[in-house]
Structure 1
Amino acid sequence: MTTILLGPQRFTTTVGATVRSLGLDGPIAMINSGWEERESEDAELAGHLEGRGVNLQLHHRMMDVLDKDEHFAAAARLFRDRQDELRAFYGIRLQAAIDAVQAVAHRSSLHAIGPVALQSAIEAVRDVDAWYVAELADLYRSVRATAPRDESGTIGWHRGEIGALLDDCVGVVIAGGNVRTLLRTLRVFDVQISADLPIVAWSAGAMVLSDEIVLFHDHAPHGVTAAEVFDTGLGRLPGVIALPHAKRRLRLDEFDRMSVMARRFPDHRLTLLDDSTVVRFPDGSSELPAGARYLGLDGHVAVVGAAS
């Protein structure tokens, strides 16, 4: 399988050239449910795909399910409300843990205890992240038990249509937008993208392909200022965390801050996806290819394959 992550497409559009480089001959599935109500406004994207784009209309289909299946809709609303409440408590705990990290990092030490204390503080942040992920998994199990998707005729009908469309496609593009909505629609219909189908994705689309989705914005005017674990992704690229708009959203010149972020996720490569970025993973691999930029544990931007 080929998986290609792109930088944001708003100012520098590379999706057309990237798809052409794959030499595909046939329809290309378009997943742009992150655009929500603008999902049908796909003429520009379809144009980049030379008219071969097939919109799976996942957001439209989800709205149809919520309109026709009252039992599932009630369970979905309950899940949304409980996740929002969970995220609120997570945010409180996370900010307190991050504040402790910063306090420890700025405390001078005459002995070797300083680095040990800092590592312990970072591990405490990871414990908060792990607590949130475990609680979220319980929420998913609860909603699936309350309203199993397999028991919804409406969901089943849409699944059949989606599967038939994907069977005729030779590739998939996943656009950005609202990552929560994008992930939700993929999950509602349990969209299965064959390992043989190449995927080109950007922004929120790139984020959902990992096994862990992280929200981040160092310049947020209020609320939690630390990066937040949001959800688990599709797992197409395990060990990779996509960071779109990295230059705009991260204080990359604050190396201590970036080091803390990288050390929170030591089993992942925090991959920077800025304008014009093209990260093409070797077939069947989630190892970052040469030239890919990521956050090193020391907080500096590193490049795969560059001389140290």
Structure 2
Amino acid sequence: MRTILLGPQRFMTTAGTALRSLGVDGPVATINAGWEEREDVVDELDTVLDGRAHHLRLYHRTFDVLAKDEVFAAAALAFRDRHDALLSLYRLRLHHSMEGVYDVVRRTREGEGRARGEVEGRSRVEGSGEPASFGAVDDAVEGVRHVDAWYAAQLKGLYADLDAAAPLDSSGVIAWHRGEISAALADSSALVLTGGHVGTLLRALRLFAIRIPDDLPVIAWSAGAMALTERVVLFHDFGPEGASEAEVYDRGLGRVRGVVALPHARRRLRLDDRDRCAVMARRFTDQHCVLLDDGTALELTADGGLPRGARILGIDGAVHELGAAAATSAPAGAQGATT
């Protein structure tokens, strides 16, 4: 199973080089549903992929389904409204939970008072080698994970309701599109997933039950890279309304495990804010928070792990290269990831 994660392609195009490194011949299936209305504006992509692209057009196929399957269209509209309401509640709870974490971190830095029975500031637990307040920070972060888990459970329920209201397997038009897509993937030598709106991309992948064969090489960047992971985390510290907290938005395809993909990291994360980055790494301590900046090209190892040199957030809030001696104890440990 060969999988290559790339940095954004807007300013530095590396997809062509990655494709040639695979050494495969034949058509290359592309999924660029995240581009939405621009899905068919593919001249540049065709050039990068040496004229071998076979565009699956999942975004346009989605609108064909909505136009021809009234039952699914009504269920999808109800799902969208309920999901919006759930996201509103999740973001409200997440904001308050994260504020609590940052309050504990600030109190720790200032050395004021006590938190959960542990001495804060510069004091040390005898023999532990770590600040006593780390227990308070971790416990506060655990509260955020609880909110994430609550949202994930509620979202799973919404999907179950959607499936019950409009069983996808009973739709003739969806079945027809799925058949075409499966045949195209079977005839392809590789698959490319581009960036764009990750929510739109995820909905299209789910609607058409995209299952990527293990032996089909995949190249992905930005939203496409996020969609390959087990859980898609949205983040933006420099949004138009200021910093927003990273949120566990949805499930991904799960081809890439033990990874939280962070495209455009330099442009979207306050990497100079060590406390904020440390909290993020601790929140997802079961996975590596991987920075996918311009020029990044990471081919996963044979067993699906990250290669040496992958840039990740450490629990100390710094950026480390995976496998470097200085990073062995600093980054968050990832279950299922090869280090």
| TM-score (ref. length: structure 1) | 0.97
CA–CA separation in structure 2 for the residues paired with 1:210 and 1:286: 11
How far residue 275 of structure 1 moved from its aligned partner, in angstroms, is: 0.3
CA–CA separation in structure 1 for the residues paired with 2:240 and 2:53: 38
Q: How many residue pairs were aligned? A: 307
Q: How does 1:114-129 map to 2 (within 5 A)?
A: 114-129=133-148
Q: 1:299 aligned to 317, 324, 327, which one?
A: 317
In the other structure, the counterpart of 2:92 is: 92
The 3-state SS of whatever aligns with 1:219 is strand
How far residue 254 of structure 1 moved from its aligned partner, in angstroms, is: 0.8
Counterpart amino acid of residue 33 in structure 1: A
CA–CA separation in structure 1 for the residues paired with 2:134 and 2:183: 55
In the other structure, the counterpart of 2:236 is: 217
Is 1:289 matched up with 2:307? yes
CA–CA separation in structure 2 for the residues paired with 1:260 and 1:120: 12
In the other structure, the counterpart of 1:71 is: 71
Calculate the aligned-residue CA RMSD, in Å. 1.2
The 3-state SS of whatever aligns with 1:286 is coil
CA–CA separation in structure 2 for the residues paired with 1:257 and 1:160: 46
CA–CA separation in structure 2 for the residues paired with 1:50 and 1:115: 52
CA–CA separation in structure 1 for the residues paired with 2:133 and 2:263: 33
How far residue 117 of structure 1 moved from its aligned partner, in angstroms, is: 1.9
How far residue 221 of structure 1 moved from its aligned partner, in angstroms, is: 3.2
Contact 2:201 2:223 in 1 (8 A): yes
Structure 1 residues not aligned, in runs of 5+: none
How far residue 298 of structure 1 moved from its aligned partner, in angstroms, is: 1.3
The 3-state SS of whatever aligns with 2:248 is strand
The 3-state SS of whatever aligns with 1:103 is helix
| TM-score (ref. length: structure 2) | 0.88
Q: How does 1:1-308 map to 2 (within 5 A)?
A: 1-107=1-107, 108-109=111-112, 111=119, 114-222=133-241, 225-283=244-302, 285-308=303-326
Counterpart amino acid of residue 101 in structure 2: V
Counterpart amino acid of residue 254 in structure 2: G
Post-superposition Cα deviations, 1:6-57, rounded to whole Å, max 9, x if no partner, equal: 0000000000011001101111001001001111111111111111100001
Higher relative contact order (CA 8 A, sep 6+): 1
How far residue 106 of structure 1 moved from its aligned partner, in angstroms, is: 1.2
CA–CA separation in structure 1 for the residues paired with 2:22 and 2:100: 48
Contact 2:236 2:243 in 1 (8 A): no
In our comparison, the structure showing a higher alpha carbon Rg is 2
Q: Percentage identity across aligned positions?
A: 55
How far residue 223 of structure 1 moved from its aligned partner, in angstroms, is: 7.1
Post-superposition Cα deviations, 1:259-289, rounded to whole Å, max 9, x if no partner, equal: 1001111111111000000011023x33110
Counterpart amino acid of residue 47 in structure 1: T
